[in-house]
Amino acid sequence: MHLKTKNYCNSWHRRKSRPFISKSWLSIMVMFFIMIIINPQGKGYPYGGETQYSYANQRGAQFFQIDICDLSEWNDTIGDSFSPEDWFDGAPNKTGNVAKRLYQRGFYIPIRTDDLFRRMFFRWFDIDYWTLHTLGYNSSYFDTRYEHWFWIWELDYSQWEFTSEQLDHEPDENYYRYVILDPLDYQYLLTNYDDFRQVFNNDPDVQALNYSLPQVSGDEFLFYLVLEDLIVASPVNGFLRDLIDTLDCQNVTVEGNTMELRFHGNKDYLLELKFNENGLIDRNIFKTAQGITFFKITSWYPMDFAPLILIISIVGLIALIGLQVYKWRKKVKFFKNN
């Protein structure tokens, strides 16, 4: 056989039998996936949290408006110790005032107990984290003691406080918030907190500094969460039920997507929170025991107009297409007749 032909035949056979992906590329891809799973830094956090709940990561603006603000009834029912300004930033003390929140970004990440303690209990009870650090209660301590990983959504958002004037385009503050997907995690948190609280309060060094952590019941824990505009996972109804069951809340009921908390200030009163399908609080309603509303905040989302805008666009497009089809039919009729 001629040399050229022989070489051609050989190369043809090579082309025919060549695999789709070469072995070297395949091995690189496999190693890459293994690295992702194992994590080269050696921390070895679990791949994904296992829960039936999810978070939709709704982005965009949420506008709040004070529909009812009866301050005299508020003072009568709840008392002086807790005012609307303690709950909401800015000036939530007048009917018609507006506020805004812009949900900008969400990350689905695993975090440890340490992060949540700092974000919640230490901040609520004014415990200086760096002091804790020097006392030996640093992240290694918490990571070793509480090995559980929490898979959460970290939400970045901007906030515009309540005001009677038109809202600026620039926000007042930028915040971040955690959304815990598994109701059971709230129980872990509370249990871990209680455990740490006992260790912490009995630490002589801590006592010397006059620090202490209070006991927190399930109801109280839920109240603190609600005070910080709790965001829940979906399906909302199931999540809320599991949450109050897990935390063993005595003064909370859930109906549909609405959670009702019972409090006692000067008198008994109710706080009704309605959540939307994505887990954000739509409505805050304070009612007397007799059911009279004395404070109400409602909200709306500009993104709700998206279907309307889409419909208008589609109708406009159909109209344009219809016009073109009409012209085209005129031509087709002309061609048929000629």
Chain residues that interact with another protein, rule: CB under 8 A: 57, 59-61, 63, 100, 102-108, 158, 166-167, 169-171, 174, 302-303, 305-306, 309, 331, 334-335, 338
Nearest approach in angstroms of CB 61 to another protein is 4
- DSSP string computed for 284-318: EEEEETT--EEEEEEEE-GGGGHHHHHHHHHHHHH
Residue 55 CB-density burial (10 A; 0-12 exposed, 13-18 middle, 19+ buried): buried
**Which helix (DSSP H) or strand (DSSP E) does residue 116 occupy?**
helix 113-119
Closest CA to 183 of 54, 32, 24, 307: 54
The two three-digit tokens of residue 46, written as one number = 């679990």
Which residues are 262's β-sheet partners?
Answer: 270
Smaller CB distance to another protein: residue 100 or 287?
Answer: 100
Nearest approach in angstroms of CB 231 to another protein is 16
Nearest approach in angstroms of CB 100 to another protein is 7
Smaller CB distance to another protein: residue 140 or 174?
Answer: 174
Residue type, 16: K
Nearest approach in angstroms of CB 38 to another protein is 23
Measured CA to CA in angstroms, residue 282 lies from 31, 239, 272, 277 at distances of 46, 16, 10, 10
Nearest approach in angstroms of CB 34 to another protein is 24
Nearest approach in angstroms of CB 112 to another protein is 22
Alpha-carbon distance 149 to 14, whole Å? 51
Reduced to 3 states (helix: H, G, I; strand: E, B; else coil), residue 202 is coil
Smaller CB distance to another protein: residue 108 or 188?
Answer: 108
Say whether the peptide bond before residue 235 is cis (omega within 30 degrees of 0).
yes
Nearest approach in angstroms of CB 114 to another protein is 24
Tokens 């979906």: give the residue. 234
Smaller CB distance to another protein: residue 30 or 332?
Answer: 332
Alpha-carbon distance 283 to 275, whole Å? 7
Smaller CB distance to another protein: residue 326 or 335?
Answer: 335
Angle at 114 between CA 197 and CA 119, to 5 degrees: 90
Smaller CB distance to another protein: residue 75 or 158?
Answer: 158
Smaller CB distance to another protein: residue 173 or 195?
Answer: 173
Nearest approach in angstroms of CB 164 to another protein is 15
Tokens 């070297």: give the residue. 24
Half-sphere exposure of 126 (CA within 13 A, CB side): 3
Nearest approach in angstroms of CB 170 to another protein is 5
Smaller CB distance to another protein: residue 97 or 113?
Answer: 97
Closest CA to 211 of 122, 140, 150, 141: 122
Smaller CB distance to another protein: residue 167 or 226?
Answer: 167
Reduced to 3 states (helix: H, G, I; strand: E, B; else coil), residue 326 is helix
